[in-house]
Chains A and B, each alone.
Chain A
Amino acid sequence: MRSKIVMLIARQFWSSTFHSKAAYGILTVIMLLVCFAAYTGWRTYTVQDDIREHYQRVVRESWENNPDKHPHRMAHFGSFAFRVKYPLSVFDFGLESYTGNAIYLEAHKQNTINFSEASFSTGLLRFGEISVAMLLQIILPLAIVFLGFSAVSADRENGTLKVMLTQGAGWKEILIGKSLGLMGLAMLIIVPAFVMTLAFMIDTKNSHAVELFPRYTATIFSYVIFLAVICLITIVVSAVSGTSKSALLKLLALWLLLAVILPRTMQALGSYFYPAPSKIEFETAIEEDVLKEGDSHNPDDPHYKHLRDSVLMVHQVDSVEKLPFNYSGFVMREGEKISANIYQAHLRKLLTVYDKQNSITKMTAILNPFSAIRNVSMALSGTDFESYKIFQHQTEEYRYLLAQKMNELQMELISNEKAPHDKPHAISSDHWREVPDFKPTSPEWTTSINDEGISFLALILWCVVALGIINRISKTLKAI
């Protein structure tokens, strides 16, 4: 294969495309959409992050400004956690709109993360959103099909192909050259899209996060591979089809199937075959398990009776009033530990069901490059399910820390004697500051890549396979 000829064919394809006005139209429309998507992505990011950081501060101030009081009141006062967006969500919204944004963190109770964008939606969110990533994943491939379906078949129809072959160009050179030309056209969108993403990303407040650049680079790399696969397949179909029209119909059918119909159908089947428990089932199961362990409010409960007896024995006293620490704080610490463990176990089970529901989509990534790039892109942008699970986990961790800190303050500083009626037990408000503020962290980028290892491999594999097909068909293709 002579690279000079390949480049010549690529250039020729490129310039002949721009002979038609349609190409300008398609590229301009997509470019405008990319600008719109990048701008709204950036705007949503800044507006939402400002709102959330603002309220996180309000919550903290409200917490610290509490006067002296009983620590258990503070455990009930609780706190809120607001989910901040990851800077690359400017590029790929991923699951951002479908995951909750605010959660109330209080003692004894795990609340749901509420107020997702989807819950505020007027029903339109079901049509999807428009992000730069979505345009590169769904719309740009369609444009590539539009621009490239006749790349080889038109040359065959008007006889140019025969001339090229007799003049010494090889099939492989023609196919690779056309693919390169088509990829060049795609680059007209890809390059500005990523430059814009970079500009908006740097503008976001958390851009100093060191993680951002490896993620950004890996994202570019994945998209280039994905779109190269699309270009190669387009050229292959164009070459093996008898007419341009039949090439177009095949490619459109393929696009519809792989980009639109299959992903939704596979996910729907996953959810159909692994139904998740309803909220009432989930909550009742937890309630039952907690009751089984024992009721800390019931003085005759065997679990807590046994606990009291053993505590009294260890400290060699005959009543809880004589213990060196506040006994009810101790009981609550014990109760919190038990209920939190039970909740965690049930949550893990629930997440396993969700993982099973998603497993079909994840597996089809091997066969469907559209699913593969979607998974990779979300993971790298920090907007995938794994990132959300980490947030969910951190909120529960923080809730537990807060509740137990208050229980320990109670054990340490509150007397076992009953307080007089007009003056309840209280501790200094200085202690409130001892609880650290909620500071969520995002996963390492290498973890994200590991999570979507299959999809990464699938993309590379697709590229290799597509090149292999070109190599193979270039030996058997006919000029007429």
Chain B
Amino acid sequence: MYVLLIKQFLRSRINVVALMLLLIIGIISIFIGRQFLFRQQEAIAKVTEHQRTHIERNVAANDEMGLLLYYLRFSLISKPDKLAAISIGQRDINPGIQSITIRTLEAQKYDTDLTNPVQLQSGNLDFGFVIIYLFPLIIIAFTFNVFSEDNESGTWKLLAVQSRSALRYILSKVLTRMLFVYGMLLLLFLMAIIVLRLPMSEALSAFVILSTLYITFWFALSFWLSMFKHSSGFNVLALLTIWVALTILAPAVVNNFVASAYPVPEAFSNIIKQRDSYHKKWDVDKKVTMDKFYAHYPQLKQYGDPDENFWIWYYAMQQMGDDESLNESKAMREKLLQRDKTSRAIALAIPTMHAQMQLNDLAQTSLIDYLRLLDNAGDFHERTRLYFYPKIFTSSNPKKEDWTQFKPEFLQPRKGVNWLLMATPLTVIIMVFYSWAFIRSKKLYNL
């Protein structure tokens, strides 16, 4: 019977064209991901090379440690996980590289990447988009009339009177369609694995499982609706309305809500505060700043004399930029975490949003991953400046320093997958739809 069903399915030109279209866009998305990954890796290589030549050139030109460290930039790099190619997330706007001097960090760390806003608005055509937007469409196209077409043509009545297991025929039709859709998903994943050289990892398997669950959700939804014996026209209208509601309207409504409920004025107050905290120290007595500085770092009192070495005062003033804007900086971070928490809570009930956020989590391209880089940039900056402060304060000779050890540092990737959080919401929704559909299916025989 399955062979016949497959033949019947393929006889429809629309079905074949739709599958081909999906395949082509899927391949395009994989290549877009490949280019994205390539550009990121290229940038990392350039930063690494630039840091070497930049340090060399400046060390050659400056004999004063304090002045030299005014210029020197050190990089902390969050290498994109290869999965970022299939779920680019926030990675295109929030940079994965922090190149910072030991001066005030708050003045440096929020710099964005260069971006084309029109491109950002239209969004990335990554494989995640294909899974979240396009696969549901093809499922709708294949299954909206899985029952209604037989009902409308009268085949169902014939079947139903002939056998009590006529439902199995409908199920086989759904299974035939599943075969093609899951097959396409698998094919595209295989292509992605080959083209992007994705390593086998826990995150990748989670990615595949999440995508499968998400697609199963759409099958469940469509199957459930078909049990209500509506006309084909009604089904397609209803399913498309649900698609529009889940992929366009609901996330957009939530987004508007989050953006207007949690504005981030702290971002502005923070950058003004850090600037004033440093620059206005030039007008304040040196001793006031030095006292605050030594209160923060008593261990540095032993190095040099601020009256002899200008740079001690200078970096103490710079330090005040960070120290005195600490509250604003924390408040901004809290606000962003609040946004994230709210979005995640709402997403639990909305499969599209949940899938998107989880894909970004797996690919380590979410807002949380960016905040993690910012936090680590703080540690990195602190380490670097505490290493150089004593050298600057004692006016050590830059030529004696081993500069080759200052290569870009890499942020360790996040480990582990929260399987429970990832799979539960979708599994529950799928089970509800299938059980309901099963209960409902008894009524199909009421002719």
Q: Which of B43-51, B192-200, B221-229, B395-403 contacts A (4 or more CB under 8 A)?
A: B43-51
CA distance A72 to B240 in the complex (A): 62
Q: Shortest 4 CB-CB distances between A and B: which pairs?
A: A127-B251, A268-B125, A267-B122, A130-B252
Shortest distance in angstroms between A191's beta carbon and chain B's nearest beta carbon?
Answer: 22
The answer on a CB contact under 8 Å between A361 and B118 is yes
The answer on a CB contact under 8 Å between B343 and A122 is yes
Residue from B134, B247, B275 in contact with A104 in the complex, judged by beta carbons closer than 8 Å? B275
The answer on a CB contact under 8 Å between A127 and B39 is no
From B254, which residue of chain A is reached at the shortest CB distance? A124
Shortest distance in angstroms between B83's beta carbon and chain A's nearest beta carbon?
Answer: 14
CA distance A172 to B244 in the complex (A): 34
For residue B271, CB closer than 8 A to chain A, the reply is yes
The answer on a CB contact under 8 Å between B265 and A55 is yes
For residue B124, CB closer than 8 A to chain A, the reply is yes
- Residues of A whose CB lies within 8 Å of any CB of B are 33, 36-37, 40, 43-44, 47-48, 51-52, 54-55, 58-59, 62, 66-67, 69, 73, 76-78, 80, 82, 94-95, 97-100, 102, 104, 111-130, 134, 138-139, 142, 146, 244-245, 248-249, 252, 256, 260-261, 263-265, 267-272, 275-282, 284, 295, 298, 350, 354, 357-358, 361, 385, 388
Could you say which residues of chain A place their CB within 8 Å of the CB of B366? 122-123
The answer on a CB contact under 8 Å between B117 and A284 is no
| Count of A-B residue pairs with CB < 8 Å | 235
Could you say which residues of chain B place their CB within 8 Å of the CB of A48? 263
Could you say which residues of chain A place their CB within 8 Å of the CB of B432? none
Q: Is the interface of B mostly helix, strand, loop or mixed?
A: helix
The answer on a CB contact under 8 Å between A44 and B259 is yes
The answer on a CB contact under 8 Å between B90 and A123 is yes
* B13-38 vs A, Cβ < 8 Å mask (1 yes, 0 no): 00000000000010010011001000
Could you say which residues of chain B place their CB within 8 Å of the CB of A47? 260, 263
The answer on a CB contact under 8 Å between A124 and B116 is no
For residue B120, CB closer than 8 A to chain A, the reply is yes
A-B contact pairs, 27 of them (CB 8 A): A52-B268, A54-B265, A55-B265, A77-B275, A78-B275, A95-B118, A99-B117, A102-B267, A102-B268, A111-B111, A112-B112, A115-B264, A118-B120, A124-B251, A124-B255, A124-B258, A127-B247, A127-B248, A128-B123, A129-B252, A129-B256, A130-B252, A138-B248, A245-B233, A267-B119, A278-B39, A354-B119
Could you say which residues of chain A place their CB within 8 Å of the CB of B97? 279-280
CA distance A126 to B367 in the complex (A): 13
Could you say which residues of chain B place their CB within 8 Å of the CB of A267? 118-119, 122
Q: Which of B168-176, B179-187, B352-360, B383-391 contacts A (4 or more CB under 8 A)?
A: B352-360
Interface size on B, residues (CB 8 A): 86
The answer on a CB contact under 8 Å between A121 and B39 is no
The answer on a CB contact under 8 Å between A80 and B272 is yes
Known: A55-B265, A279-B113, A357-B118. A123 touches B367 (CB 8 A): yes
Shortest distance in angstroms between A285's beta carbon and chain B's nearest beta carbon?
Answer: 11
The answer on a CB contact under 8 Å between A275 and B254 is no
The answer on a CB contact under 8 Å between B272 and A55 is yes
Q: Which of B276-284, B293-301, B411-419 contacts A (4 or more CB under 8 A)?
A: B276-284
CA distance A127 to B124 in the complex (A): 10
The answer on a CB contact under 8 Å between B123 and A264 is yes
Known: A95-B121, A282-B114. A55 touches B268 (CB 8 A): yes
CA distance A100 to B253 in the complex (A): 22
From B366, which residue of chain A is reached at the shortest CB distance? A123
CA distance A361 to B113 in the complex (A): 23
The answer on a CB contact under 8 Å between B268 and A36 is no
Shortest distance in angstroms between B55's beta carbon and chain A's nearest beta carbon?
Answer: 14
CA distance A244 to B233 in the complex (A): 8
CA distance A130 to B258 in the complex (A): 12
The answer on a CB contact under 8 Å between B116 and A125 is no
For residue B336, CB closer than 8 A to chain A, the reply is yes
Could you say which residues of chain A place their CB within 8 Å of the CB of B272? 55, 58-59, 62, 80
The answer on a CB contact under 8 Å between A123 and B356 is yes
Could you say which residues of chain A place their CB within 8 Å of the CB of B94? 119
Could you say which residues of chain A place their CB within 8 Å of the CB of B258? 122, 124
